[in-house]
């Protein structure tokens, strides 16, 4: 009887903790949403989440006057190209490392993993020099950078972790699948494409979301490569709002909301796969 | 080229096509061949080399590398080359004007000069300003790594235990808990920046609940004694979701029987946590510790966007310093490279130590 009671108390405590932290965790986001519909005066003056008067025009003006659609599309193009290529080439690499054998496999894998520990800032200067030499980056503000110059280093940067997660995931799939298909005469390309890739949906979702978030929010690298404001991504445009003399917090929050919404939609749609892929890659690996 | 293995199989199997599924038979032959070649290889490799057949065989055995090829090409160009470039550059003095190139090697005086180990000496002890800023930044990095990692674990573990216990509404709570992980980046830094403003949310809330003496009058990010802790709070807030999810997954692999047996033996809740949960979750903890330290030491984007190292260098971190020497007003690209190698060595050593320390337990 006593243990039953203490069990209930523990469960109650669990719910209290969860509720408290969940509020803490979503509060900044709720505040962002509510501020996007307030006047600037009210943002600064009131701690209430519910606007006294709903100003839809803040969001609409931000979208229209600041031409957010253009930057939204800029961001979207870069993210979609990068994520598709990342999933394609690193699922192949993960499969190669997990299910096939070739000379130097382990050394190569360790080389990729080693790159995880190289701070991103280490290679910024060399990358800029390299892209200039290859003609993939504008030499000054009058020239536009090419997509390749912006995206290829992003893809490579996502490599080590993606390969690691894909390989670990493929390792959890039975090797018998591979052998059976081999006996049936399927080529390794067919085995990869028809058997293993479809089974990898959770890890594809995980790596897709992980990189979608990272690239969508990425600031430093685009700010170095993109010297033509027409090519700016959403974060760069949002940062540009700082140039105004008086900070319009409601406009900032409206811009932030526009930036955050696509990520939240993608996350909510793929959440279940995302979590299972994340934990399979990290915990079981 | 890509379909080569398949073609070979089909050709070998053709005669028997009517009686038996061609590829079935063919692959049988090829496995037998594989096996015999393999054993021959082990016995006398020199004998084998003379047979031209074995080249095709060798290519086929190693065709798996084709899967990795696109990744390797990117890695060689944008990974390995740039890493070597930065390593070599760390032994030169270069202000970014003129040219420094590896292939072919170009380093023209006066804008570029060999410096030996001088770049390292400069920021480690030789140049007073450089070295003071470097060690200050390093100190912040270490404080952040310890506090953020400990804070993340102290919050994430109870949350994961609670989530594991809360059957009703678990999905909803999990979604809410994961939101900070999804909404990272400049948008969220703006919200936090506002929360930390002098007339922002945090000061307002403190006033309302009667803790007005805790307020930061010049704003949380503007006051030297508050800025670093304010940044660490945002970092922990952002890191807790992933750690919680990993711990939850770890908890779900622990057998319920263990706890039942412990209860039978009269173990208290604390003993269960200390003797069962914590040791069995150690591998997860190691992953969290490594990734957390790694991201704190390497990261600087948040600092760049929220304080740019201010006020007066009180939130300066090594990554940001490197960035400033690389892309700031007074460029010292050699120093930037040397400093980033010092950071790399630190990150790598810490990861190694972590793995070494926890290996015996994780295997047991």
Residue with tokens 């170009």: B106
Residues 82-101 of chain A with CB under 8 A from chain B are: 89-90, 92-93, 95-97, 99-101
Give the tens place of pLDDT for each residue, B229-238. Answer: 999 999 999 9
Q: Are strands B106-107 and B112-114 parallel, antiparallel or unpaired?
A: unpaired
Cα B317 to Cα B300, B323, B329, distances in angstroms: 7, 10, 18
**Which of these, A170, A35, A153, lies nearest to A99 by C-alpha position?**
A170
Could you tell me if B298 lies within 8 Å of chain A, comparing CB atoms? yes
Interchain proximity A189–B287, CB inside 8 Å:
no
Q: Which residue of A has its CA nearest to B70?
A: A89
pLDDT of residue A21: 94
CB contact under 8 A, A43 and B188: no
Quote the CA–CA distance of B353 and B289 in Å, as a whole number. 11
For residue B64, with 0-12 CB atoms within 10 Å meaning exposed, 13-18 middle and 19 or more buried, which class applies? buried
Mean pLDDT of chain B, nearest integer:
80
Q: Alpha carbon of B363 to those of A158, B243, B291, B349, B360: distances in Å?
A: 29, 21, 20, 21, 5
Q: Suggest the residue from A283, A284, A285 to mutate for an interface test with chain B (most B CBs closer than 10 A).
A: A283
A74 φ/ψ angles, rounded to the nearest 5 degrees = -55, -50
Q: In the prediction, which pLDDT does A143 show?
A: 57
Predicted confidence (pLDDT) at residue B364 exceeds the cutoff of 60: no
Q: Is the pLDDT of residue B71 over 90?
A: yes
A230 contacts A18 by C-beta, under 8 angstroms: no
pLDDT for A140: 58
For residue A65, pLDDT beyond 80: no
pLDDT, one tens digit per residue, over A218-242 is 999 999 888 788 888 999 988 887 7
A41 has a chain B CB within 8 A of its CB: no
Which is higher by pLDDT, A134 or B6?
Answer: A134
- Encoding tokens for residue B133? 């800023």
- What pLDDT does A73 receive? 92
More confident site: B363 or B296: B296
Q: How many CB atoms lie within 10 A of CB A134?
A: 13
- Among A187, A203, A233, A227, CA closest to A75: A233
Given a cut of 90, whether residue B313 has pLDDT beyond it is no
Residues B82, A282: C-beta atoms closer than 8 Å: no
Q: What is the pLDDT of residue A280?
A: 65
Categorize the per-residue pLDDT at A51 as very low, low, confident or very high, splitting at 50, 70 and 90: confident
Does position A263 have pLDDT exceeding 70, yes or no? yes
What pLDDT, on the 0 to 100 scale, is given for residue B275? 86
Asked if B305 and A21 come within 8 Å (Cβ–Cβ), the reply is no
Separation in Å, CA of B350 to nearest CA in chain A: 10
- The B residues from 23 to 82 touching A (CB cutoff 8 Å) are 23-24, 26-28, 31, 61-68, 70-72, 74-75, 77-82
**C-alpha to C-alpha distance for A232 and A225, rounded to whole angstroms:** 10
Q: Where are the beta strands (DSSP E) in B104-203?
A: 106-107, 112-114
User: Which residue did the predictor score with more confidence, A61 or B14?
Assistant: A61
For A85, A208, B40, B89, B287, the CA distances from A277, given in Å and listed in that order, are 19, 11, 42, 40, 16
Domains of chain B: 4-61 (no CATH), 69-116 (no CATH), 121-363 (1.10.3720.10)
B23 vs A contacts (CB less than 8 Å): 184-186
Does the bond joining B311 to the residue before it have cis omega, within 30 degrees of 0?
yes
Q: Return the minimum-mean-pLDDT range out of B96-110, B193-207, B297-311.
A: B96-110
CB contact under 8 A, B86 and A22: no
How many Cβ pairs within 8 Å bridge chains A and B? 302
Q: Are B101 and B111 in contact (CB under 8 A)?
A: no
Query: How many residues does the structure list for chain A?
Result: 285
The pLDDT value given to residue A1: 47
- Given pLDDT bands bounded at 50, 70 and 90, which one contains residue B19? very low
In chain A, which residues have their Cβ closer than 8 Å to the Cβ of B337? Answer: 122, 125
Q: d(Cα B9, Cα B32) in Å, to the nearest integer?
A: 13
Residue-range domains of chain A with CATH = 52-284 (1.10.3720.10)
What mean pLDDT comes out for the span B1-14?
Answer: 27
What pLDDT, on a 0 to 100 scale, did the predictor assign at position A88?
95
Under an 8 A CB cutoff, do B204 and A125 touch? no
Per-residue exposure over A104-120, b if at least 16 CB sit within 10 Å of its own CB, e if not: ebeebbebbeebbbbbb
DSSP chain A: -HHHHHHHHHHHHHHHHHHHHHHHHHHHHHHHHHHTTS-HHHHHH---SS-SS--HHHHHHHHHHTTHHHHHHHHHHHHHHHHHHHHHHHHHHHHHHHH---TTHHHHHHHHHHGGGS-GGGGHHHHHHHHHHTT-S-SSTTSPPPHHHHHHHHHHHHHHHHHHHHHHHHHHS-HHHHHHHHHTT--HHHIIIIIIHHHTHHHHHHHHHHHHHHHHH--HHHHHH--SGGG--HHHHHHHGGGSSS--HHHHHHHHHHHHHHHHHHHHHHHHHHHHHHHIIIII-
- Judged by a CB distance cut-off of 8 A, whether residue B106 touches chain A is no
The phi and psi torsions of B305 (rounded to 5 degrees) equal -80, -30
Smallest Cα distance from A201 to chain B, Å: 18
C-alpha torsion B45→B48→B53→B57, nearest 10: -20
The DSSP secondary structure of A111-153, one letter per residue, reads HHHHGGGS-GGGGHHHHHHHHHHTT-S-SSTTSPPPHHHHHHH
Residues of B in contact with A115 (CB under 8 A): 75, 79, 83
Closest partner CB to B348 (pick from A21, A117, A182): A117
Among the partner residues A21, A186, A218, nearest to B177 by beta-carbon distance? A21
Helix axes A175-183, B22-43, angle to 10 degrees: 110
Buried residues in A56-76 as b, exposed as e (16+ CB within 10 A): eebbeebeeebebeebbebbe
Which pTM was predicted?
A: 0.84
Torsion of Cα atoms, A277 then A107 then A120 then B152, to 10°: 40
Selected residue of A4, A13, A25, A113 to mutate for chain B interface (largest B Cβ count, 10 A) = A25
Residue of B nearest to A153 (CA): B78
Q: Rounded mean pLDDT of A51-65?
A: 83
pLDDT value of position B32: 38
- Using a CB–CB cutoff of 8 Å, tell me whether B211 touches chain A: no
- pLDDT bracket for residue A44 (50, 70, 90): confident
């Amino acid at each position: 009887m006593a243990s039953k009671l203490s069990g209930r108390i523990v469960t109650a405590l669990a719910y209290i903790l969860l509720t408290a932290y969940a509020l803490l965790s979503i509060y900044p986001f709720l505040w962002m949403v509510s501020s996007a519909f307030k006047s600037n005066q009210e943002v600064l003056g009131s701690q209430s989440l519910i606007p006294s008067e709903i100003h839809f025009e803040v969001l609409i003006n931000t979208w229209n006057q600041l031409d957010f659609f253009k930057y939204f599309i800029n961001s979207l193009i870069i993210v979609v190209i990068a994520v598709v290529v990342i999933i394609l080439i690193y699922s192949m690499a993960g499969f190669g490392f997990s299910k096939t054998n070739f000379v130097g496999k382990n050394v190569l894998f360790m080389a990729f993993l080693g790159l995880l520990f190289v701070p991103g800032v280490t290679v910024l200067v060399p990358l800029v020099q390299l892209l200039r030499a290859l003609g993939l980056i504008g030499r000054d503000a009058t020239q536009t950078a090419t997509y390749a110059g912006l995206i290829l280093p992003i893809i490579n940067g996502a490599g080590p972790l993606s390969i690691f997660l894909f390989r670990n995931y493929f390792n959890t799939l039975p090797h018998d699948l591979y052998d059976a298909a081999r006996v049936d005469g399927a080529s390794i390309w067919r085995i990869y494409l028809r058997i293993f890739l479809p089974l990898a949906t959770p890890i594809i979702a995980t790596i897709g979301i992980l990189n979608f978030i990272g690239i969508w929010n990425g600031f430093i690298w685009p700010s170095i490569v993109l010297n033509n404001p027409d090519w700016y991504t959403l974060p760069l445009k949002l940062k540009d709002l700082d140039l105004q003399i008086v900070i319009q917090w409601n406009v900032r929050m409206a811009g932030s909301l526009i930036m955050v919404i696509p990520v939240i939609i993608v996350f909510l749609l793929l959440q279940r796969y995302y979590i299972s892929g994340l934990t399979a890659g990290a915990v079981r690996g | 080229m890509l379909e080569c293995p398949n073609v070979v199989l089909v050709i070998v199997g053709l005669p028997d096509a009517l009686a038996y599924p061609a590829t079935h038979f063919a692959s049988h032959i090829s496995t037998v061949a594989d096996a015999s070649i393999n054993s021959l290889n082990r016995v006398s490799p020199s004998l084998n080399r003379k047979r031209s057949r074995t080249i095709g065989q060798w290519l086929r055995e190693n065709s798996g590398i084709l899967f990795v090829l696109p990744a390797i090409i990117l890695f060689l160009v944008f990974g390995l080359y740039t890493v070597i470039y930065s390593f070599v550059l760390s032994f030169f003095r270069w202000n970014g004007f003129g040219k420094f190139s590896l292939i072919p090697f170009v380093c023209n005086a006066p804008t570029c000069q060999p410096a030996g180990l001088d770049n390292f000496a400069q920021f480690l002890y030789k140049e007073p300003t450089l070295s003071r800023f470097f060690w200050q930044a390093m100190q912040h990095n270490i404080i952040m790594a310890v506090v953020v990692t400990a804070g993340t674990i102290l919050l994430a573990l109870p949350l994961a235990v609670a989530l594991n216990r809360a059957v009703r509404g678990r999905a909803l709570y999990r979604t809410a808990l994961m939101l900070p992980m999804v909404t990272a980046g400049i948008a969220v830094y703006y919200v936090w920046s506002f929360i930390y403003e002098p007339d922002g949310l945090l000061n307002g809330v403190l006033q309302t609940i009667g803790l007005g003496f805790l307020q930061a009058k010049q704003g949380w990010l503007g006051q030297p004694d508050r800025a670093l802790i304010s940044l660490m709070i945002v970092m922990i807030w952002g890191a807790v979701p992933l750690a919680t999810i990993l711990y939850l997954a770890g908890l779900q692999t622990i057998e319920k029987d263990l706890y039942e047996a412990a209860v039978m033996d009269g173990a208290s809740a604390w003993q269960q946590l200390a003797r069962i949960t914590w040791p069995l979750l150690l591998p997860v903890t190691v992953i969290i510790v490594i990734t957390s330290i790694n991201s704190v030491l390497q990261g600087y984007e948040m600092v760049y966007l929220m304080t740019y190292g201010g006020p007066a260098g009180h939130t300066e971190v090594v990554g940001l310093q490197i960035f400033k020497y690389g892309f700031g007003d007074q460029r010292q690209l050699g120093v930037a490279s040397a400093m980033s190698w010092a950071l790399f060595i630190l990150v790598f050593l810490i990861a190694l130590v972590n793995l070494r320390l926890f290996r015996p337990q994780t295997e047991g």
